[in-house]
Structure 1
Amino acid sequence: MSNSYAGLDDAEVAIAAVRAGANIVHTMYGQRLPRIDKGAGDFATAADIEAENAILGVIRAARPDDAVLGEESGQQGAAEAARQWLVDPLCGTLNYAVGNMLVAVNVALRDGAAAVADPFSGDVFCTDGATAWVRQGEADTRLVPTPVTQLVDVNLDPPFPSAPGFRSVDLLAHPRFVERFRPRVVSTTLALAWVAAGKRAAYVTDGGDLSGSVHFAAGIALCRAAGCLVTGIDGTPLGQASRGLVVAADAETHGLLMSMIRGRS
């Protein structure tokens, strides 16, 4: 198996990995899948497990010495390793379980290459850490963020660690928000790739430090490489001192959202 990946750079490894996971997700779609309870209302399905196994198979074959943090399988290798892959095999499990196709497969090398696959369109959003592009079939097109859609994805899923100072739902009721933007809620980090691709003007979510999250790392890497503005909900750079995430296609959109968030805080 390892010969299949000989000579691939990290971006191509990430692409191969998310495609392997996306193939499983696509194939198992629509089946009656038992839910594996993870507590606090969260769960996984057999598709999550099998997709992660497929992704890990690619990474192990291509980069056997690298550490991996998988959403379902946990830490493999040293957590402080210089090279660590972050794997979210099915972002949007609840969507998937109820027959909604809004899901993503995320793979990121910490501080390096990353890829996000849409299992149903076949699009793979990729970055080598410097530039970002979408691969459709075998054709690559550079990602160009733009606020032209005026659509802003807002994650409304709990928990709400910044409440009562900030709640995403409050942003939707802000008079200036409804004058300028239209909210969307897709409940998957596929929306981050859409910001990088110009399909969304921005994305907002609460939370802690999301820069090292298996759910967000790939999307954050894509948006940064595409030239989006990426900060916490307090406007500070991502890191242990920041909270949540605001990703915007341009400075004007980011500034407008930050003024609304600060006005509610």
Structure 2
Amino acid sequence: MATRSALINVMVRAAEKAARGLVRDFGEVEHLQVSRKGPADFVSAADLKAERTLREELQKGRPEFGFLMEESGASKGSDAEARWIVDPLDGTTNFLHGLPHWAISIAAERNGEIVAGVIYAPIGDQLFWAEKGAGAFVNHTRLRVSERRRLEDCVLATGIPFKGRGDHAGFLKEQEAVMKEVAGIRRFGAASLDLAYTAAGRFDAYWERGLAPWDCAAGVLMVTEAGGFVGEIEGGRNPVFTGNVLATNSHLQVPVARLLKSAKG
């Protein structure tokens, strides 16, 4: 059985406490679908409540850490080199529509490097966690990226731009280039879980542009610790802060990057 460090345990306790409130709120979403006001304001309130819970619990465990949080932004702690990077509800649109594919994502950053990550999907009770140099796990099972080498056997995940966000025309070119070569493309709507699933070998590769650090920080470490490759789509090595992420198993980085590059013509 995998042994979790004290740092991981702090993160897990915070995620599990925030999850209890989110699960209760998720049970109310379907009743709100028919209300005149609609569920958007309710989900925003659920998001903020989860973020407050996470901040309180993480501060108890590591009071010296700063924060980078989706809703409340950045704040410094007494240790200028350490901070939490937190998404209290990744997959908000899924949550809003009663779809059970959403997660809490927490990463610990020290000296500009992600050293630990937790991604918790409460519906289904899947706890993904990783620590630098110690591997990646789901609950107590070790994670390994897939071993598939032939694109025609592979399923890739991505994020699709939506109204007001992203390069729609550019994405369609990338999708066309990729879909002709692979067994399938999936879009599930939660970047943290796309990365966790890549770490688990459920997806063979994943790409997305325009992510925020809280969307991908924990997941990037997860894939790396599961034996995969993570970099920028254009070839750089700092995807957490550029937001353009390519994550693959150890065999597919070059062929998938080549396909995405070909879409630029």
Whether the 8 Å contact between 2:196 and 2:219 is mirrored in structure 1 is: yes
TM-score by length of structure 2 reads: 0.82
For 1:102-140, what per-residue CA distance to the aligned partner results, in whole angstroms no more than 9, with x for missing partners? 11110001121110001101111101222333343xxx1
- Counterpart in the other structure of 2:10: 13
Alignment partner, residue 157 of structure 1: 161
Q: Deviations 1:155-184 (Å, cap 9, x if unpaired)?
A: 1125326x76xx23322212x633323100
* Residues 12-42 of structure 1: per-residue CA shift (max 9 Å, x gap): 2122222222222222113137434xxxxxx
Which shifted more, 237-246 or 119-128? 237-246
Identity among equivalent pairs (%): 23
SS of corresponding position for 1:113: strand
Residue aligning to 1:259: 258
Residue matched to 1:244: 244
**CA shift for structure 1 position 242:** 5.4
* Alignment match, 2:105: 106
CA distance in 1, matches of 2:123, 2:54: 17
Q: Distance in 2 between matches of 1:50 and 1:96?
A: 15
Matched, 1:23 2:20: yes
The residue type paired with residue 134 of structure 2 is T
Residue aligning to 2:72: 73
Q: Do structure 1's residue 134 and structure 2's residue 137 form an aligned pair? A: yes
Aligned to 1:192: 195
Alpha carbons 2:146, 2:249 under 8 Å: kept? yes
> Which one of the candidate residues 168, 175, 199 is aligned to 2:171?
168
2:129 aligned with 1:123, yes or no? no
Q: Which moved more, 1:189-198 or 1:148-157?
A: 148-157
Q: What is the correspondence of 1:22-101 to structure 2 with a 5 Å cutoff?
A: 22-31=19-28, 32=32, 34-36=39-41, 45-77=44-76, 81-101=80-100
Tell me by how many angstroms 1:68 deviates: 1.1
Counterparts of 2:119 and 2:244, CA distance in 1: 20
- 1:234–1:242 Cα contact (<8 Å) kept: no
2: distance between equivalents of 1:173 and 1:240? 26
Alignment RMSD, CA only? Answer: 2.6
Deviation at 1:154, TM superposition (A): 1.1
Structure 2: how far apart are the matches of 1:178 and 1:56? 45
**CA deviation digits over 1:25-71, x for unaligned, max 9?**
222113137434xxxxxx95222112112211210111111111211
Aligned match of 2:179: 177
Question: CA contact under 8 A between 1:168 and 1:205: conserved in structure 2?
Answer: no
Between the aligned partners of 1:115 and 1:242, the Cα distance in structure 2 is: 21
State the 1:75 CA deviation. Answer: 2.1
CA distance in 1, matches of 2:7, 2:226: 18
Does the 8 Å CA contact 1:154/1:168 hold for their aligned counterparts?
Answer: no
Given the alignment of the two structures, is residue 230 of structure 1 paired with residue 191 of structure 2, yes or no?
no
Using structure 1 for the length normalisation, give the TM-score. 0.82
2:214 alignment partner, SS class: coil
Distance 1:59 1:218 in 2: 15
How many residues are paired up? 242
